[in-house]
Amino acid sequence: MPFAVPKLRIIDRYLVRELLASFVAATAILLLVSIGGTVADLLNKIARGRIPAELLFSLIGLRTIDALTILAPLAVFIGVQLAYGRLWRESEMAVFQASGLSLIGLLRPLALLSVPLMLLMALISFWLAPAAVRLSQSLLLEANRSLIIAGLEPGRFVELPNNEGVMYVEGMNEDGTKFKKMFVASERADAMGAKGKEAKSAAATGENATTRINVITASDGELYHDKNGAERYLGLNDGFRVEGVLGEDNYRLLRYARNDLKLSDPDQDFSTESAKRAAPTLDLLRSTDPTQRAEIHWRLAAPISILVLVLLALPLSKSSPRQPRYAGLIVAFLAWAIYYNGITIGRSLLSQGKFSFLLGFWWVHLPVLLVALFLLWRSQRLPRQKRVPVAVATAGVA
């Protein structure tokens, strides 16, 4: 006998459409807020010459993929609140219940939305998001190998990042790694006769501070990285270096055949946090480092939190027609904040080795799941009928 796929009921299709519309709207709003902050950060770095403008849209897309692991569970939680909350306020849910549809019967449309979303979120969390972080780091690292990232153009004076001075090159190759006829001038406040912290304090207050200039020229040179690929250097050939204090005649002139200058660190994060976010999931499973093993549970939390939040959102969305429109969202946001902060605290404790790897974040997921099931059971119970006292009932009959 061939397997028959059960057909969806009319009410299931209606509720799925409502849930999907609310979920898409919540996701769009959350992405708009997230992308707005990302664009502001990237534009700031582009203006300072830390990131090439050509990577703007690529980095926005890659960071958006990484942010979906946090935004999608919250979006589906808000979507259920908005969709089912509207049905309660407009008394449509009362009609459904009068037709024989219980609160537990609303789980079927939720499953049609949440199960595919859980599978998609698992794919993003375990594979797409780490791949996006790795690609973002690779693009930034490749861009930092070129002087073009600082906005240098042959024949034009350009201000270096972090107010490190002004730079001019007469010619440059296409990839921005080699140049000819370079000129760099920089100034810094220098306290007279002060050293260390005293010099910094005097320079900040302007007391007995002087301006020291440093001018470097080179006939040609190149941009290169150290062995780790994190720090950048300018290798200068056949040039002069002049340094001294403005207003004084004790300038010092130095001619060199080779001079290496360290540039400011690029906006590339090589920290432990960035490394574990970019690590493939298989490498995390083989690792014994508590920090990397905690990342496994962090990635697992994204699809699991969708299931937990969907079950929690169903009883929390119940409201009366006279209740304010978004009153239930306040309680919902508070519940999500407690749940998310619990996962964050668990991640920190697990990274420090204070919790067992097998325990993971289950001490956060299971209590919230039990609370959601209890609220569902409580919502299903019929209110107890008030018992009429016997004396009152007899008097009524008489």
Encode pLDDT of 142-155 as tens digits: 766 665 555 566 77
Round to whole Å and give the CA distance between 214 and 385.
89
Instruction: Identify the residue with better confidence: 197 or 242.
Output: 242
Please indicate, yes or no, whether residues 323 and 236 belong to a single structural domain of this protein. Answer: no
CA angle at 242 for the pair 204 and 200, rounded to the nearest 5°? 15
The strand order across the sheet containing 232-245 reads: 158-159, 166-172, 178-191, 209-225, 232-245, 252-262
Q: How many domains does the chain have?
A: 2
- Residue 207's alpha-carbon distances to 79, 201, 203, 352, in angstroms, are 60, 9, 7, 47
What is residue 344's three-state secondary structure?
helix
Please indicate, yes or no, whether residues 126 and 32 belong to a single structural domain of this protein. Answer: yes
Residues contacting 249, CB < 8 A, separation 6+: none
Local confidence band at 124 (pLDDT 50, 70, 90 cut-offs): very high
In-domain check, residue 397: no
The answer to whether 119 and 19 have CB atoms below 8 angstroms apart is no
Please indicate, yes or no, whether residues 96 and 175 belong to a single structural domain of this protein. Answer: no
- Read off the pLDDT of each residue in 125-136 and give the average, rounded to a whole number: 91
Please, which contacts does 390-397 make with residues 24 or more away whose CB atoms are closer than 8 Å?
none
User: What domain range is 321 assigned to?
Assistant: 10-143+271-380
CA angle at 226 for the pair 225 and 227, rounded to the nearest 5°? 125
Instruction: Give the closest residue to 73 by CA, choosing from 299, 342, 294, 304.
Output: 304
Round to whole Å and give the CA distance between 204 and 199.
8
Round to whole Å and give the CA distance between 227 and 230.
8
In-domain check, residue 5: no
Please indicate, yes or no, whether residues 119 and 236 belong to a single structural domain of this protein. Answer: no
What is residue 191's three-state secondary structure?
strand
Please indicate, yes or no, whether residues 75 and 124 belong to a single structural domain of this protein. Answer: yes
Please indicate, yes or no, whether residues 61 and 133 belong to a single structural domain of this protein. Answer: yes
Please indicate, yes or no, whether residues 136 and 175 belong to a single structural domain of this protein. Answer: no
Instruction: Identify the residue with better confidence: 382 or 312.
Output: 312
In-domain check, residue 388: no
Instruction: Identify the residue with better confidence: 285 or 92.
Output: 285
Q: Is the pTM of this model over 0.75?
A: no
Local confidence band at 268 (pLDDT 50, 70, 90 cut-offs): low
The answer to whether 224 and 279 have CB atoms below 8 angstroms apart is no
Average pLDDT score, the chain: 78
Terminal-to-terminal C-alpha distance of the chain? 67
For residue 146, what are its two tokens?
């070129």
Please indicate, yes or no, whether residues 129 and 75 belong to a single structural domain of this protein. Answer: yes
